[in-house]
Amino acid sequence: MPHAPETARPAIADPASVDAAIESRFSARAFLPRPVPQAMLQDILRVASRAPSGTNTQPWKVYVLQGAARDALVDKVCAAHDQLRDNPELEARYPEPYDYYPAKWVEPYLSRRRAVGLDMYGLLGIGKSEKDKMHAQQQRNFRFFDAPVGMFFTIDRIMGRGSLLDYGCFLQSVMLAARARGLHTCPQAAWNRFDSIIMPHIGAGENEMIVGALALGWADESDPVNALHTACEPVQSFVRFLS
């Protein structure tokens, strides 16, 4: 007896909206105080949970901070950040949990990294010699750029490198689902070095490692920093078509 044909999955009715969510996403660095409904956050994470993962391991764990829990962590990490500025010898207290960036920068990555920094500080009118202003801007990371929602993402330490690839798919799905609802986000690795403060605060287990953080909310479109949209390389610069 022949197998019954599988039910065809429907095509996306409006593919342009998918493209728009991807193309309009940027790392927002200024947010409005407007709260994000809990139901919307739950729906974003529900949609994002459809992200692919090797053998369906789904290695993500998410901690969503709002209100007093968010504010208390902001105060703790900003205090530590200030201490590091005043006492650089404390650097060893806050090692990175994993190598997010290379130990040595080479081209073309070095130029791309420098361009983002120059463009951002240029928009803000902050010069290289203005150390206090630079410190204050760096600390905006640890205030979630005033976003009302901060998310932390962790993974079990036992998982392999491939699970970080899976995690990237999940994080992109979170950001695009948020964008589809009119929200903006900023993925953040800056928090990682303060994992010794963050992990106890969020109640993460000893077997967990921080992957990164995400600021989420309604972007302040009037803030000059949100005019920063990074340049992307043309397709022909990173793709080879073989036939």
Domains in the chain with CATH codes: 27-87+143-222 (3.40.109.10)
Using pLDDT thresholds of 50, 70 and 90, give the confidence band for residue 13: confident
Predicted pLDDT of residue 3: 52
Strand partners, 156: 208
**What gap in Å lies between CA 115 and CA 235, rounded to an integer?**
20
Lowest model confidence (mean pLDDT) among 11-25, 39-53, 109-123, 132-146: 11-25
Residue 14: per-residue pLDDT: 87
Which residue, among 179, 169, 243, 183, has the nearest Cα to 211 in the 3D structure?
169
pLDDT for 29 beyond 90: yes
Q: Provide the pLDDT for residue 142.
A: 98
193 and 96 Cβ atoms separated by less than 8 Å: yes
Averaged pLDDT, 16-30: 96
pLDDT digits (tens, 9 = 90+) for 159-199: 999 999 999 999 999 999 999 999 999 999 999 999 999 99
Q: What percentage of residues in the chain have a pLDDT greater than 90? A: 93
Q: Could you tell me the CA-to-CA distances from 43 to 38, 50, 154, 173, 229 in Å, in that order?
A: 9, 12, 20, 12, 27
Q: Check whether 1 has a pLDDT greater than 90.
A: no
| SS3 at position 219 | strand
Cα separations in angstroms, 102 against 113, 169, 191: 12, 21, 17
Pairwise pLDDT comparison (5 vs 80), residue with the higher score: 80
Q: What is the pLDDT of residue 8?
A: 62
pLDDT at 5 over 60: no
Give, in order, the Cα–Cα distances in Å from 104 to each of 48, 182, 225.
34, 38, 28
| pLDDT above 70 (res 2) | no
Other CB atoms within 10 Å distance of the CB of residue 127: 11
